[in-house]
Amino acid sequence: MSWLLLAGAVLAEVGGTLSLRMASTGGDRRWYVPLVLGYLAAFALISGALSLGMPLGVAYGVWVAVGIVLTAVLSRILFREPLTPLMLAGMGLIVAGVMLVELGGVR
Amino acid sequence: MTAWLLLVAAILSEVTATLSLRGALDVPALYVLVVAGYVLAFTLLGQVLRRGMSLGVAYGIWGAAGVVLAAAGSALLFGEVLTVLKVTGFVLVAAGVSVVEIGSQRAQQAADGAAASPVAATGAVHAGGEEAR
């Protein structure tokens, strides 16, 4: 159950981030609504996951790592941003590093 | 260049807010800094995107640098333990950010090169047409 909440938090946060891109570059201020709602929902859902006993390091590490990859892949699809094999390799290093930082403190 | 400086400022605001959130457990007045820091971080990130940095790159670096600096800051300010695993993670993140940066600069140069050369540009338009179909 706590993993479902975490998955919901990641999706809400990625949705909010994509809205930030639309609000900043598209000039349509209505995108600020899903931006704020997405982030509020993300914080509520991750609080729920933590209250169900998920360790903070696990929740935060998975949240950031999956968020980074999903955002990069969706930006490639939705906004046609460049995503070369070299950039993907760098993202892989970042994700591994984030997980080590967060899980390195979990006992 | 301005975009990268703004990204650094966005990261620093976010880390300040995150560390204040931890500190607010003892000093409630720090919640002012939490809210101000997050609002400033998102405003700056929006400015970074407006200057043309791709979302995948900006968000990846922002998120990862935030994690590393928050962990390092917690160790410095709140005496949290830095394990060997955590420090290894710092090194991996730093290496990953450099690789992403180099990769995105190369992709940018390739795009600029294609735009500058008429032959390559025709090829790109053609390829784009193929993709659309």
Distance set, CA A72 to CA A45, A81, A88, B23 (Å): 22, 8, 9, 32
Question: Do A10 and A67 contact (CB within 8 A), yes or no?
Answer: yes
Does residue B82 carry a pLDDT above 90?
no
* Structural domain for B41, as ranges: 2-132
Chain A partners within 8 Å of B50 (Cβ): 24-25
Q: Which of residues 47-76 of B touch A (CB under 8 A)?
A: 47, 49-50, 54-57, 59-61, 63-64, 66-68, 71
B60·A94 Cβ contact <8 A = yes
* Structural domain for A39, as ranges: 2-103
**Structure token digits, residue B74:** 């917690």
Q: How far is B29 from chain A (nearest CA, A)?
A: 21
* Number of compact structural domains in chain A: 1
A20·B60 Cβ contact <8 A = no
Q: What is the pLDDT of residues A28-84, one digit of tens each?
A: 889 999 999 999 999 899 989 989 988 888 888 888 999 999 999 999 999 999 999
Q: What is the pLDDT of residues B3-13, one digit of tens each?
A: 999 999 999 99
Residue B119: the pLDDT is 52
* Number of compact structural domains in chain B: 1
Distance set, CA B51 to CA A97, A101, B6 (Å): 28, 31, 10
